[in-house]
Structure 1
């Protein structure tokens, strides 16, 4: 069946309508309603397109015309305001220039009569000046010449405090406020001081009628005008003289405030501003130098935008006409479109009902005709599809069978990979064999990256000559070989016949491997080429896309196997590292046991020290008492009558006994010092744990150590320096223990500096400095001496117990060890030393401000 439709013929429309009526109704179809909607939609769409285009164009045109017109109006008004302002300023400057020559000479030169003649001549030359007064340097009026009153000579009027005299003297010129005479003419006072101090001041009363004339002559449009506002916001000149005479205040107007704020010509800021009559106007202004006045030019908004309103009216008329035209054109076009669409709808319904032989004929020459042809082609294809459906089903079944075979083979390969996950050679060989078998290839190889080349790792079906060739010629990136290009680009490459290909250089490989067709795919990992999988067939011919995809799948499995082996090796390495860590942990446990033994040793040391303390005290007391008995015995024997020999023997015996007792006392004191240090080194801390001022503790330690050293050694002299940070403040600690540390370090500094002095260093002055510094939640203390310094080998051992470099009898080797334990173990701080042999030694201590105090060992002594 064929449907033919010509939109311009009534027969075509009738035939289309009858065909639609004869067609079986499709479920859910509503022909008349759809037609009505489509018709109205096209009409509305056409009207909207035309209307929106015209309206958008008109709005943009009006908008830009409005901006340009408004800017032009403001610019013209601003030019008029500037011209008028310049004219008024020039008028005042000319008067000021004419007035200037009256202040050139001092009052001592010339007579009053000569000055009167000069003043009269000035009045003739400058009509705007109605009165001239000349005042001497003391402020006394000496001469007044007027057009409106009698001349006055030596009136003696005191103007020394009048602004027109004081301001002129201070600023050389004075412009007075505007005032009116006879309530009709505006005037202002202009005072000018001479360049010499004794020249005095000339005061002129200036008629401003010329300014009024300038303002009255300015015309802006038909109803625009200009006016002048003074610095105080009062109206000075206006075409309506009544407003000026009423002394009108203009300071509340928006345009006047904008001129004061420096936004006088901002069109957006002044849009819609009101003038003094309450009219909406556009305003421009210009300052009048040097008076501080402002010239305003304004134009009513209605007059300014009259042309814009006319343009809007014209636009509305055009839019109305265009809308009427669009409605008519839309109706016409919609009627021409509905007929072909109904014919298409009827043909689609028949095709949907299974009538594939029917055809739709439309002669519109547009997309509707093309759509009808597409419907006809669809019907023809449906007929053909039913004809060869059985062949397609059979072909599809064969493809599915082949796909199932490939998936089964892939599953078998995955099983092999899972069983030999960590034997990379076996896995790669299995993958090569499976890919070769599924693609009908005679050989297959896998090459993996080794630095900048790829080397053969697995093969299947290769001759020994081909294998030797591949080992001797590793793959390099490049475009002359197929494997090199895959290595470089990371994309599969496929050559159906190597003999007929001129793009690649295969060399002797095809002959050694006995292949004509070749396929190479990359092994990709994280965007980098890890290797190449290559298959070759002895007969020429292309590999199918399915085979290429299958080989790519095998290549991806090879990458996974490589990654698994790499991860397994990493796990083994981590296992070795864990074993080493466990061994180190055992070593640390052994060290902990040794530390506990040392703690027990500290308790044993304390017990020994306590046991030695009592007999040592007895020896020291006995030695001291024996010395006193010898002195008393010597005093008793002195008055006795003894011969010289006997007295000599007694003196010799006494001297020997006292020498031996002094040695006992000396060794007893050293033993007592050793016992005290042993007790201090073994106990956990003494005294009260409390907040204390660290600066005060350092100062107290310096004083104690200094006075103790002077008492112990005559002639002791050393320079002390202090640099205490006031913000160091309070620190939570054991004050007695910290004091003991500072005393120990300061005493060592005294000892080192004194030793350097005693070594004969000429010009050397021993010195010791102590400094504190706040570090936020910590405090730093530095104790520095300029003594002999500490050698590197001594620095490594200096905090070890019983280590000392002092001569026998001068040290126990426990001072620095005890200081280290008090700072680090008891207070949670740090102690370090910076030194340079023969130059200085500096101990650096840091203490936490709070919560750091801990016992040194577990028991109490």
Structure 2
């Protein structure tokens, strides 16, 4: 049998471009084949052998593990029970030795005889360190000790001590384990005599001797046994230092579980961790009647050592069998699957476009005939589609590239239209598309105004980005930005490592290569009217040049960036002009407010004239600026028409120019009003404030209140205040300067409205502004009260409020002369009084008193 795959050499020149890749994939599984036939045969053979061996081994290991573990637990239980029995026997022997000291009643024998017997007991039983004998009444009669002086007839009353009461009640008492001097464990053993008058013998037993019993218990090579008391304290352990340290074992899971189960370890906790944290196999047995628990532990590693050895042998056998099965399976599968695999691979390559592929099978059966048919079909297809595929592929590539470029251009233009004043999203979108279509790794866009400034970056490494932030952008000679400034249409450097700036140590070029990893660079300028205003640079991290199409594409993006910059500049210029006009309007309003305040000072005579002349000059400038602004709007419209903005941007521009025209109309109106005020001031400075005459004070107050209220509503249309009037008809006629008193009332009422509006802003909807005005007949005097519930006046302000030029309003909202002038008009000109009552944050009330008849020699309003 012979089989092979070989290309048709004479027709190799007409192969389509995908043929090599298709041929290379012939050895791999086809799109519809999940697993190769060869692999199936080998895997099946290996699986049969491995599963049989593995199943047999796992069953043996499983049952051996269970039997071995049960055997170990059984042996440990037997050891624990044997050790528990030894310790119980040890205590019973002590109890038996102690029993003969309670045979005789206290009435028989002498104390010396009993003392001699006690000393003999201490010699015979080394575990007993102290023996006390108590009579039937609970009085201690004799105490013999290894550690202290003997006591005879001490008379200590133990009648209520558990050592006496429990022994009398139960004949024997096993006390809790305690540690003398915080080291050696001890236990109290009390035994009552059979006769009621025999008393009780109390022995203190040193449990350290139990260590001999525990240390003789051997559990494997590294296992051991230990005894734990009912409180979880260690009583006996091969490591005597643990006992002497009074070690608490209650935190171990096996100790807790065994004590809860009465001393026997439950099956669920046969494996636990010892006090050193080592995993152990454990068993326990109770020590009766002491309520102690004997534990026997064996490390799991030692317990299962034979099991691990068995697993290793099984693994070695399984590995050897698997290797044998793989080799045998490969041999058999190759003989069986070879021809089929060759036919499938050849057909797959022909189906993938490799029409030069020829299948050679020499089996002398149907498979060889099928291979010949595939070879004939491949030859005919190769002749028919060789040229066609090349043309289709070439045209498809061109269309795809063109579509990608047009789509990217449209997206960038869309961003420019949607963000005419914000360049950041435009630059980001432009860099993204440029890097995508030019197959670049990262990019930078700089602007230039005599110095370079980073406008956008995409894909920079953290180290290079940090460098650009920390260092000024200065590019040396022969660098790409410098060459673009010199007039180059574009700059391409295919190997930055060997470029002259890099060899000369130019900082930016060094950082670009060493920190950014760049190897290839393409840079184009941003030009406006043959003037470079920036550049775009994209980079690759491999030595691969950019195509001519990619250069043109990047230049196209650069021109779009220039359009975006110009649009942003125009809009910025428009906004700047708008802000200038708005600022001018604010200045005009401020000047108007100053004029209104200054008009109230008309009684200052020549001071008023001087102020009016000083205001006239900036007022003339504002009026002239209004005329120039109208011309500026016309010029701006012409510039915007030339820019050919899209519909949305044009709507925004029309809205801005409309707002400008509206503001200019207001400027003109306020300018005319300001001119009128200045003329009135000049006229008033020459004519004074008129003559005093009798006037209805209620009418003057009502007129002033209405004027101030409507003036406040004109400035704040949304502001509303409740006006309350209580005008006394008996107030009647008063000899006053009506114009001056009106100014005083307007000033005080306007200040009150300002204070209520300010408090309203801080308090919200819950606050209701109120202004209360009253008049009252006081005989030869008339009283006027003006009260508001505004912000009130602080004490430090109240002391200086009538001083000239003192004000608490923001700059431009007051001259500080209103209250001072009001004080002079009321006090000096009319001979009255003006006082204020206030509470900060609650209310302010001004109280004015005016004489009904002005004193002789009163000055005119213009001279006061």
Work out whether the TM-score is over 0.5: no
The TM-score normalised by the length of structure 2 is 0.34
The TM-score normalised by the length of structure 1 is 0.34
**Which has the higher relative contact order, 1 or 2, with Cα contacts under 8 A spaced 6 or more apart?**
2
